[in-house]
Structures are given as C-alpha cells and as structure tokens.
Amino acid sequence: MEHTLPSKKVIKRLVKNCLREDIGSGDVTARLTPRDSIIDGKIISRERGVICGVAWVDEVFRQVGKRHKAKIDIDWRVKDGDIVKAGATLCRFEGLAHPILSGERTALNIMQTLSGTATITRQYADAIAHTKARLLDTRKTLPMLREAQKYAVLCGGGVNHRMGLYDGIIIKENHLRSGKSLERIVADAITSMPEGALVELEVETIEELERGLLAGAKRIMLDDFSLEDMREAVAITGEQADLEASGGINLDTIATIAETGVDFISSGSITKHVTALDLSMLFDYR
C-alpha cells in the first residue's frame, strides 16, 4: 500500500536539525578511521515489526555525504509499511566511512522511532480489524515529529486525525467552560469552518451527547465512557453522527471497545508511548 510522504522540505528540515544536534561543530569520533576508508554496510532488524522511515535515512546520508562531497549508495530491500522478521536486512549501502559514521546514529534514531510507531499502530489496527471501527492517532506526538509519526501511523494501518490546531476543531471540556453554551460553541465551530472540515464535540455524558446531536454535531468523541454507555450512545446516535471512543485505550481493551459499534477509536499511546524498533547498522571496512 502506498502512503503519502511528508514533503521533501519537512523531511529535510527534521534531518538537518537532528544532524545538528548530534554532530554540532564536527564529528571528532569519525577521525579514528582513515579518511579514504570505504564501508560496505547494512541495516538489520533485531525484531519483528513494521518498517517506516526510508526517506529519512536516505536524507540523512544525502546530507552527510554532501558535507564530505561523497555519494553514499543505498540499496533498499524493503519499503515503508513492510512487515519484517527478526534478522531481516532492510538495506545495504556503501560509501566513505566518515560520512556514514557521522550519520549512523541519526539515521537509526529516526527509523527506529518511526518503525516503532508503525509497529504498535499495526498491532492496534489488527486487534479491531473484525469491526467497522478505525484507529485514529492524536496530537500527542513526540516534539517536532508530528508529520513523521502521523505518516508512520498510516504505514501501520491507522488513520490520521487532524494534523494540528489549524486544520480541524475538537470542542473539548476547557472550551465548554468558557461561558458559552454547548449549543452555541457547536454552532460557532460549524459556521467558522469550510464545508467538510473536521468539527468534533467531546462529551462526557449521555446528556451531553444528546445535546450535541440536537446542536448538529456530526462527529462526537465519547470521553472515558463505560462500555455500557458506549453501547447506549451508539443506539441513540444511529446515523446522525460518527462516534469516536477515547480514553483507556490499550491492546487489552481496544477490541471490546470497537465491538460496541463506535466508528473510530483514538489513541495517544501509539505515538507518545512508542517503543523504538530494535535496528542495527553493521559495517565491513574495505
């Protein structure tokens, strides 16, 4: 399956900042190897998982290669979204030792994190595949990795929620405490956004759900509802709006929640509690 990558500008910016963080004023460690040494190398996975981050690794080695006026050739054996077994070779590469050593940790850090995000997303998505519910990400992403992690969610079989505060509205508890009525806030949100843009209301009770439906909300988030209340909400709502379950979502609970009949389940843990996939870069010097 093809997934839409973030723009080249986004990928370039992240890599540039990550390399600056690691290399700083210069890589003093790489001097331990002869300047003209050539490396044949590979990236392998130490565990089963979903791969994500090919374009970022390519950009890491493009940038460090450019600094050294050297080209690093990479032959990928996988693509983003592929599921690999422990011991799988993801790519082979060759080039000058200095730039490869300088880019090694940055390349692995990014790919491990994005692959970890894609892997846990796949586990969650597979757990609800027998239902109509779809898995959503949230804005609870690692700092500066929003676009990259949301791409990883797509690679793992999830669906992107809004990217940020600029492309959709979720009316939450703190908005409802502003003094305006729920009905007025919903109406203002709907009229302020283009047709088809996300306008969602978060509710904590069945009574708020019913008020939201009367106000015209077309997507409603059920925040920390019990299973019984979720089933009641599904029965009340029918085809009037899409329902999204949120709160208390983990691998032990997600299937049962999906079976209540909700349309979406959102989880912050797939991006904020991500565990990096165990990858290694192995070298042979010529």
The residue count for the chain: 286
Give the number of other CB atoms < 10 A from CB of residue 164: 11
| Segments in the chain forming alpha helices (H) | 8-23, 54-67, 97-127, 146-155, 173-176, 182-192, 206-215, 227-237, 254-258, 269-272
Q: What is the CA radius of gyration of the chain?
A: 23
Give the number of other CB atoms < 10 A from CB of residue 78: 16
Catalytic residues: 105, 140, 172, 202, 223
Q: For residues 114 and 72, is the Cβ–Cβ distance under 8 A?
A: no
**Amino acid, res. 184:** R
SS3 of the chain: helix, strand, coil, percent, to 5: 40, 20, 40
**Amino acid, res. 27:** D
Burial of 271 (C-beta count, 10 Å sphere; 0-12/13-18/19+): buried
